[in-house]
Amino acid sequence: MSKRQLAMVMDLNKCIGCQTCTVACKTQWTNRNGREYMYWNNVETYPGDGYPKKWMEQGGGFDAAGDLQDGIIPNIEADYGVPWDYNYESLASVNVLGNDADKDGYSIKGAETPGLHPTTEPTWGPNWDEDEGAGNFPSDNYFFYLPRICNHCTNPGCLSACPRDAIFKRDEDGVVLVDLDRCQGYRYCIAGCPYKKIYFNPKISKSEKCILCFPRVEQGLPPACAQQCVGRIRFVGFLDDEESQVYKLVHKHKVALPLRSDYGTQPNIYYIPPTESPAKFDAEGKIIEGSTRVPMEELEALFGKEVHGVVEKLKAEQKTRKETGKSEILDLLIAFNHSEMFRLDNNYYQEVAKAKGQSPLAPVDTRYVKGKHTKVAFGGGHH
């Protein structure tokens, strides 16, 4: 357990699935160098298979006794979705209507498809099942968006699975990082993470994951996904900082819950469960008064039994707000001022760096910065 813990709260009532967070993360970190297929931040449709495909069924995490469970390592093509490219080169030389078209312009069977097309036939990808959800349209179909990043767990499955001590949790803020100098690309971390939020980079043959934008955070900026969020659904702050909105939502009002805490990793990304969904229609297409489409069992599966109390509390708070015009919880969730959603305490990191004599903080596990027997520490380059 780290001394302090940086955490995020995401309000699922306000997520519109626009993927701006996904793009913010991708352009910042994962659009290059073997990370092309990775989405450190993704927004999936729930119910749905998610990303990677059926991640909830792929093992990892801990059982009730606290023992790490076996898991599997997903396949890029089948489970993540291979990031396909297009035949740009051939466009320069090939007639876009198709050199292989017959006189009527139809493609000749067996010939290369004319025009711009993917170089590999995609069979799966993130958001392959976007907006499908469950139930029957129009009577009772439903879905909501579930944005996911690494949970920077207090008891990380990835860290526990690594036989090389290559994953560490920063003492100053609980951010879970891979020490790329130590990582040997074994991928047990991927099997150990029940959220499948750590990825194998095939180009460098090492594992990589969401870093909670620590270089930004250390400078007082929120993670890119949170800053770019157009719906203002993301709060970022320290869990022990009573002034932070994260603290208020998680500890003071207790309306934010972790995702699948039954995995036993003590995740530090919290969610305001979705309370709003339209009423169902009956066979005649009439509204069933008082009905709600998102089944509570689904929410219970994701957020545990506590979700019932939280949904009741949020609904009661809405009522109070309507009647009295006052509600601290709703004021927080409305997020009048974007910058107030983040409390990162820039001076804190400066003090930590000063105390450690590092500026900026070393992005490696300091336990092994100087190997007992090795003469060159981190940064020596490969042989």
Partner 1 sequence: MKTDKTIKTLLATSLVATMAIANPSITAVKVDDSIDLSKVSNDDKVWSKAKRANIALYPQTTIKMNDKNANKINAKNFAKDAKILAVYNSNNVAFKIDWKDASENKADITTSSDVYADGFAVQMPTNFSDPKKLPYIGMGSKDRPVLVHLQKATATHYEPNGNKDVSLQVNRHQTNTFEKELAAFDKNVSDAAIKDYQRAYISEGFRSMTQIRDKDIAFNMNMSYNKGSWSATMSKALKDGYLDLTKSGAVPVAFAVWDGAKLGRDGIKNLSTWVAVDFEGKKGNEALVTELTAKVEGDAKAGKALTDTMCASCHSYADKVAAMPTMAPNLSNIGGYSTAAYLVESIKDPSAVVVAGYNRNAHKNTAWYTLGAKGERVSTMPPMMSDDKQIADTVAYLMTLKAEVK
69 vs 277, beta carbon nearer partner 1:
69
Q: Nearer to partner 1 by C-beta: 169 or 280?
A: 169
Tokens coding 150: 């690494």
Q: Tell me the C-alpha distance between 45 and 272, whole Å.
A: 16
Cα distance between residue 338 and residue 28, in whole Å: 21
Comparing CB distances to partner 1, the nearer of 107 and 266 is: 266
Q: Do 157 and 60 contact (CB within 8 A), yes or no?
A: yes
Least distance CB 290 / partner 1 (angstroms): 45
In the complex, least distance from residue 114 CB atom to partner 1, rounded to whole angstroms: 20
Of 33-72, which residues contact partner 1 (CB under 8 A)?
33-34, 36, 59-60, 65-72
Does position 123 bind partner 1 by CB under 8 A? no
Residues 310-349: x where in contact with partner 1 by CB under 8 A, - otherwise, as a string: ----------------------------------------
For the bound state, the minimum distance from the C-beta of residue 30 to partner 1, rounded and expressed in Å, comes to 11
Secondary structure of residue 214 in the 3-state scheme? helix
Residues listed for the chain: 383
Contact 1, 168 (CB under 8 A): no
Q: Which of 105, 110, 285, 379 binds partner 1 (CB under 8 A)?
A: 379
As measured in angstroms, the least distance from the Cβ of 306 to partner 1 is 24
Q: Count residues contacting partner 1 (CB under 8 A)?
A: 65
Look at residues 45, 135, 127 and name the one whose alpha carbon lies nearest to residue 80.
127
* Binds partner 1 (CB under 8 A): choice among 126, 192, 231, 237: 192
209 by Cβ neighbours in 10 Å (0-12 / 13-18 / 19+) ranks as buried
Pairing state between β 42-46 and 144-148: antiparallel
Taking the least distance from each CB to partner 1, the nearer of 180 and 353 is 180
- Minimum CB separation from partner 1 for residue 142, in Å? 32
Whole-angstrom distance, CA of residue 158 vs CA of residue 135:
35
Stretch of 170-178, 192-200, 287-295, 319-327 contacting partner 1, by CB under 8 A: 192-200
* Site membership for partner 1, residue 26 (CB under 8 A): no
Q: Out of 3, 16, 54, 85, name the contact with partner 1 by CB under 8 A.
A: 85
Q: Among residues 184 and 358, whose Cβ is nearest to partner 1?
A: 184
- What is the closest distance, in whole angstroms, from the C-beta atom of residue 80 to partner 1 in the complex? 7
| CB closer to partner 1, 60 vs 174 | 60
CB of 182 to partner 1, least distance (A): 7
Q: What separation, in Å, do the N-terminal and C-terminal C-alpha atoms of the chain show?
A: 35
Q: Binders of partner 1 among 345-374, rule CB under 8 A?
A: 368, 371-374
Site string for partner 1, 145-184 (x = CB under 8 A): ----------xx--xxxxxxx--------------xxx-x
- Least Cα distance to 149 among 260, 274, 257, 22 occurs for 22
| Cβ–Cβ < 8 Å for 47, 220 | no
Q: How far is CA 254 from CA 152, 273, 319, 383, in A?
A: 20, 12, 18, 52
Q: What is the DSSP string of 81-148?
A: -----B-HHHHHHS-TT-TTB-TTSPBPTTSPPPSS-BSS-----TTTTTTT-BS-TTTT-B-EEEEE
**Residue 268 is encoded by which pair of tokens?**
């530090």
Task: Give residues 230-259 in contact with partner 1 (rule: CB under 8 A).
Answer: none
Binding mask 198-217 for partner 1 (x = CB under 8 A): -xx-xxxx------------
Instruction: In whole angstroms, give the CA distance from residue 65 to residue 44.
Output: 31
Binding site for partner 1 (CB under 8 A): 31-34, 36, 59-60, 65-77, 80, 82, 85-86, 88-89, 92, 155-156, 159-165, 180-182, 184-188, 190-192, 199-200, 202-205, 368, 371-376, 379-383
